[in-house]
Amino acid sequence: MFGFLNVYKPTGITSHDVVSRLRKVIGMKQIGHTGTLDPFAEGVLPICVGKATRLIEYLDDDKAYEGIIQFGKSSTTYDKDGEILETSGKLITENELISALNDFRGEIEQKPPIFSAIKIKGKKLYEYARAGETVEVPIRKITIYKLELLEFDYSKQQAKVYIECSKGTYIRSIANDLGKVLGCFGYLEKLIRVKAGKFVIDKSCPLESINTENVGSLLFSPLEILDFRKYQLDDNTVRAVKNGMRIKANGFSETEFAALVYNSELISVARFEKGAFVQKKVLG
């Protein structure tokens, strides 16, 4: 059994907790997730089961979120779970917020929160933070494909936003930085991941509803998820592929990846090089 689960992670647990629970429920050790969600966040968490764990590098990494930003305060973690650092009595207007959002679209530079799992010199940033140690947090380039204001409550000074972004984007940092631009501070009150690559929230399954009996029916085939053209194998070529051999073909572009298929099952992920498929991940 192998494939992908579209799990809805609840608040209050880590992504690692989800994997640990599923290993016990399903009775398999070869299970992993494709993108960490903070404990206070909820929503789509793609899970790889069995041999699908070997395909993580080929999955679409773009994400989409709905978040609620609270203005007027900043926190150590850039979200509601941190200690409040600063407060402001300034009240922003919806027009001011809409104007400020323009600074956060497209390719931008972002400084991740100190309370994050990014490793510096083999140690996670949150470990430095908890130990009270100072470390330089590297600035990284990310891309915000879409950023929309969905709702704004002037009395509560809260904004609900929708964000489509590249891998490695911290929505907590956007909330913190947006507060700085507006001169009123800000942190993330709530976060829901509504999309991760091809996994969408409408088709996600609550963690607590997954069990040994139904997990097979909930699995998405790798052929449904991978964005590669398919190449059908015959009895001769499938044996060669399973042995890791190159097979000649045509109709594909140089360095293009393909899903090599036999009897509707993914046998290998291969790359087309000089008129032949070179095997990269043999699963069959």
Residues annotated as part of the active site:
38
The Cα–Cα gap between 134 and 114 comes to 9
Q: How far is CA 217 from the centre of its chain?
A: 23
CA dihedral 43, 46, 47, 51 (to 10 degrees): 180
Residues in the chain: 284
Q: Which single residue is written with the structure tokens 């969600």? A: 37
Other Cβ atoms closer than 10 A to 146: 10
Q: At 220, list the tokens.
A: 């998405």
CB 229 within 8 A of CB 252: yes
With a CB cutoff of 8 Å and minimum separation 6, the contacts of 9 are 15, 18, 37, 41, 42, 43, 44, 45, 207
Q: At 240, list the tokens.
A: 């060669």
The Cα–Cα gap between 31 and 150 comes to 36
